[in-house]
A and B are shown apart, each in its own frame.
Chain A
Amino acid sequence: MQAAVAAGAVAVVPAGMATNSCAPSGLQEDKPKPRDPDAVVTNISSALAVPKTEISMPGPFPGVVAEVTHSGATKGRNPNHCDPEAASAMLAAGMMSLTGEKNARDAWARFFQPGERVGIKVNPTGGKLLSNTHELNHAIISSLEEIGIKRGDIVIWDREEDLLYDAGCTPENYPDIRCSAMCYLAEEDGKKVIKGKDRIDKNVYYEFDIEQQYDEYNTPYMINTGTRSYFAKLVTEEMDKIINVPVLKNSGPMVTLCLKNLSYGSTSNCRRGHQIMNRYIAEVCAFPPLRDKVVLNIVDGLRGCYEGGPAANAQYIWQPNSIWAATDPVATDAVCWDLIAQKRIEKGLATKEQVEEGKKQFDFLIRAENLGLGVFKSREIEHRTSELA
């Protein structure tokens, strides 16, 4: 006789942000008809009015993506096993390949100075099964320390603290490093509540004329309603530079990589953004807190998924054993999207035609390129590849 779990002992969990996926036919829920995204009025012109800086996207290496593969980096799909030495070697090789420097220290020193506060934007939405590889995170932190960045000046961050902690990005696993989020758990009158209003910057926002009401579960995670999506103070005030470290993942027929990791991970009231998703992804990244602070993108493709993303489904996880280093998030997304698409075709989950159709439908890369954030179609992407033993 099995003992059932106590039904009275329940932790009811509120909801967080959403990302998009394609709706198959025969589904029960009717979705509201989307508006023509290009007819929606946004405040993107206010972002474009701010002059770019020397380090603004796409940084000093537009159109360059440095891929490093190490066949022995991971053992199967096991999320708990990555060879730390392999991760460090891959990161160093990627940085040298990207910058042309002869040693990794010099490569890192091109982007960061001692005394700067550096944020590492991870993607923990795949939980323990498919989130950032801790060995790679530690290698990034060690590289920063080697050039004089103090551990106390480093923040690992995401939009939601509970997802961040669930994926193992905790103070225990990262001593002396801040692990922080825009939405966080707090105690109020003896109850655990989600808070975040004190962590958004009311002076910096992406605005467009679509509103969405959220229910009691979602409101705390969305933080606010209305026509504005505020940027997290983490990005506007608490960091000087950002390293964007997305995980190699599909999101339905598209991908959730550099640009999506930044745009949805840095703003409040973001779920309504799905009604103009391609614009949301591209335009949010064009605002100065992201455009002028994200100096490096390192895609964690030690493991990745070609189906089931952005959540994690073990059956669709594979181990490319690769990382991609770049200053250009658009070119990086383009290169990694091709890899995921190739895998989907190989596994019979999509045809070449469907892949091309998906890229037309999800046109955020073209939009990002048009906003000057990187290279997609305007010229050839320089995809440098190297393999370690």
Chain B
Amino acid sequence: MLYLILAAAALLAAPADEDIFTLLPGNGVPEGWGLPETPQLFPREALFNHINGGAELYLQYGFDRLALADYEKGSLDVRVEIYKMNDAEAAAGIFAENSKGVEKSDKFGIACTLDQYQIIFHRDRYYVSVTCYEPSEELQAAMETLAAAVDEAINKENR
């Protein structure tokens, strides 16, 4: 409850740069999961620190900022990364780059790929990656719940 109050208070005072955090699911999504650490914001200039040379491509397509959060339940963890691109075309471009030769689905976003370690999708100007580090049914379910929550939040933002 305290977290929700703090979250609401922070949202009211959130600088525009941090609006992207409203797309991240909070504690309890999925049930029993939480965010033990503060989510991170990577502005355009800081992307190299997160994905090193991989940043080059995002910048060339038109990258705005990244929100990153690690969700944990006991020893299990899932990482959610929301890349805000300059426009929908840039998000689709990055998705295309990162899904070359991989079967696509429409389960999340405009298009997605589903892997036992990673779900990626794009919708509107966002490219989203949800990653786990162990193959298990519980983690797969957690990844799908988080992906669905982010997808819904992006949809809601557009309405």
Contacts and interface: CB of A to CB of B under 8 A. Distances in A.
Contacts of B131: 129, 314
Interface in B48-93: 48-57, 59-62, 67, 69, 79, 86, 90, 93
B141 interface: no
A217 B40 CA distance: 14
B110 interface: no
A50 interface: no
A4 B153 contact: yes
A195 to B, nearest CB: 15
Contacts of B59: 29
A189 B42 CA distance: 22
A41 interface: no
Interface in B16-69: 18-19, 21-29, 35, 38-43, 45-57, 59-62, 67, 69
B18 A8 contact: yes
B3 A3 contact: yes
Contacts of A307: 100-101
Interface magnitude class on chain A:
35 or more
A227 interface: no
Contacts of B21: 4-7, 10
B53 A256 contact: yes
B117 A12 contact: no
A76 B3 CA distance: 38
A310 B90 CA distance: 20
A11 B40 contact: yes
Given A80-B133, A218-B48, A13 B113 contact: no
B99 interface: yes
Contacts of A77: 117, 135
Interface string B133-154: 1110000000000000100110
Contacts, number: 198
A279 to B, nearest CB: 17
A20 to B, nearest CB: 6
B109 to A, nearest CB: 16
Nearest to A123: B52
Contacts of A271: 48
Given A24-B97, A28-B90, A314-B117, A16 B48 contact: yes
Contacts of B38: 9-11
Contacts of B35: 5
A358 interface: no
Contact of B49 (A14, A31, A310, A347): A14
B14 A2 contact: no
B53 A18 contact: yes
Contacts of A308: 54, 98
A8, A128, A218, A349: residue with the most chain B Cβ atoms closer than 10 Å: A8
Contacts of A23: 56-57, 60
For the complex of A and B, list the 6 residue pairs with the smallest distance between their C-beta atoms, beginning with the closest.
A19-B53, A311-B54, A3-B26, A8-B10, A7-B14, A314-B118
Interface of B: 3-4, 6-7, 9-11, 13-15, 18-19, 21-29, 35, 38-43, 45-57, 59-62, 67, 69, 79, 86, 90, 93, 97-102, 113, 115, 117-118, 120, 131, 133-135, 149, 152-153
18 contacts: A3-B4, A6-B21, A8-B14, A9-B39, A10-B38, A12-B40, A18-B55, A20-B56, A23-B60, A24-B60, A29-B60, A29-B62, A77-B117, A78-B135, A128-B79, A218-B45, A315-B98, A348-B101
Given A9-B39, A315-B115, 16 more contacts: A3-B26, A5-B39, A5-B69, A6-B3, A7-B21, A7-B22, A13-B40, A13-B42, A20-B56, A27-B60, A28-B61, A79-B133, A128-B133, A217-B49, A311-B54, A315-B102
Interface of A: 2-21, 23-24, 26-29, 31, 76-80, 125, 128-129, 160, 162-163, 215-218, 221, 251, 256, 271, 307-311, 313-315, 317, 347-349
